[in-house]
Amino acid sequence: MAKYFDVHPENPQPRAIAQVVQLLQDGGLVAYPTDSGYALGTMLGNRDGLERIRSLRHLGPSHHFTLACSEFAQLGQYVQMDNDIFRTVKAHTPGPYTFILKATREAPKVMLHPKKKTVGVRVPQHTTALALLAEIGPLMSSTLILPGETEPMTEGWLVQEELGNSLDAVLDSGDAGLEPTTVIDLSGDEVEIVRVGAGDVSDFEE
Q: Which CATH number covers residue 92?
A: 3.90.870.10
Region 103-122 average pLDDT: 95
Q: Which domain holds residue 148?
A: 3-204
Q: Which residues face 38 on adjacent strands?
A: 33
Alpha carbons 16 and 172: distance in angstroms, whole number: 10
Region 130-145 average pLDDT: 97
Q: Are 120 and 98 in contact (CB under 8 A)?
A: yes
3-24, pLDDT tens digit by residue? 999 999 999 999 999 999 999 9
**pLDDT confidence band for 205 (50 / 70 / 90):** confident
| Alpha-carbon distances, residue 185 vs 3, 41, 196 (angstroms) | 35, 21, 12
152-179, pLDDT tens digit by residue? 999 999 999 999 999 999 999 999 999 9
Note the pTM of the prediction, 2 decimals.
Answer: 0.96
Q: Coil, helix or strand for 148?
A: coil
The tally of domains found in the chain comes to 1
**pLDDT confidence band for 27 (50 / 70 / 90):** very high
Is residue 206 scored above 80 in pLDDT? no
**pLDDT confidence band for 62 (50 / 70 / 90):** confident
Residue among 42, 38, 40 at smallest CA distance from 58: 40
